[in-house]
Chain A
Amino acid sequence: MATHAIAEPKHLWLGGVEPMKASYGKLMMWIFLLSDTFTFSALLVSYGLIRYSHQSYVGKSADFVFSHAYWPIPEKVFEAVPFLHGVSLPLVFVGIMTFILIFSSVTMVLAVEAGHRMDRADVEKWMLWTILGGFTFLGSQAWEWGHFIHGTDTGTAVKELVNGQLVTRTINGANLIENQYGPQPFADLFFFITGFHGTHVFSGVIINIVIFFNTATGLYDRRGHYEMVEKVGLYWHFVDLVWVFVFTFFYLV
């Protein structure tokens, strides 16, 4: 198959067994990832539009308080780390999560590389590390969500008009109806974007487990190639790539 494609480079577009010198499965994975890019972009584009249609906080970072009047500064919202209650560590936990995901991406490439060498033991080892990284990330995100939903110790006091009376009420945490950190869309977008990404990580972990199982039972050895590891690797890197963008737009900007 491969020699055929190399012998006739002019016919790359004609399809056949390997259009664009990529196997059918790999090409379809690329096209799927491209369509998934559009879905994620829709969420990030919405975030960009809504974020900048709200007021930005003006003033010193130290004087910042949560208010519905302006968009919150992310480092003031995401400053908690497990087991360190009450300690302000802005963006530390989300930074750790980023490194976990980048690292699991590296172990995934190492699994793909081992697959090229038909080294079954090495593929198994690196797939296990990748699965472990995926679970660690999911656990971290569950904690992050839990903290975000429960909110800070003091909460945020808001004034509301109830039956013509101005009533002061304290909001703790955030959900799809109310939000102590800032304007409501901030919480909605947080849940939608990190939730959609987390769903991708979760399905990626499941697929990785299937691939690990197939490797361990020697399916790819019998098949003669480890291309499935490569295809799943593409998906896993894409998930990492999306996180890089979520990290920038949601946590840094």
Chain B
Amino acid sequence: MADVVQQTGEKQIAPPQTKVIWRTFWILAAVTALEFVIAFTMNSGIFKVAIFVGLTIVKATYIVGEFMHLKHEVKSLIWTVLIPTIFVVWLLLALMLEGGNIGLE
């Protein structure tokens, strides 16, 4: 981090900057709470599953983007991580549908 206060001789500690961290925490907490509400109020079905998967991706974006700092890395690193993950998600969805077809017989 280039913008961090440089230490020169005397120990000088910059004040903490945690605003973004706590905002991310509250977003994650709110989304989890929302998932609970949906789990008990909605009838199960493909629509409910879609909502859960969507909310999970929202949470994952905040954890990877802010906590793991990926949002602030260079583009080539972002894509290096993201592209294989997209294929994995595709495989997950594809085999869930495939599993449904096995069950039908």
Q: Is the CB of B95 within 8 A of A48?
A: yes
Which residues on the A side are within 8 Å of B55 (C-beta)? 248
Contact A51 B96, CB 8 Å, known A110-B18, A237-B63:
yes
A109 an interface residue at 8 Å Cβ cutoff? yes
Q: A34-B85, A253-B53 known; 8 other A-B pairs, CB under 8 Å?
A: A20-B73, A38-B84, A45-B91, A48-B92, A109-B66, A118-B13, A233-B67, A241-B64
Q: Is the CB of A52 within 8 A of B100?
A: yes
Q: Give residues 64-100 of A contacting B (CB, 8 Å).
A: 73, 75, 90-91, 95, 98-99
Q: List 11 A-B contacts (CB under 8 A).
A: A30-B81, A49-B96, A99-B29, A106-B24, A108-B67, A116-B4, A117-B4, A119-B13, A241-B63, A245-B56, A248-B56
Q: Is the CB of A248 within 8 A of B52?
A: yes
Size class of the A contact interface (CB-based, 8 Å): 35 or more
Interface readout for B21-46 with A: 1 if CB under 8 Å, 0 if not? 11011001100100110011000100
Q: Is the CB of A237 within 8 A of B68?
A: yes
A240 an interface residue at 8 Å Cβ cutoff? yes
Q: Is the CB of A38 within 8 A of B100?
A: no
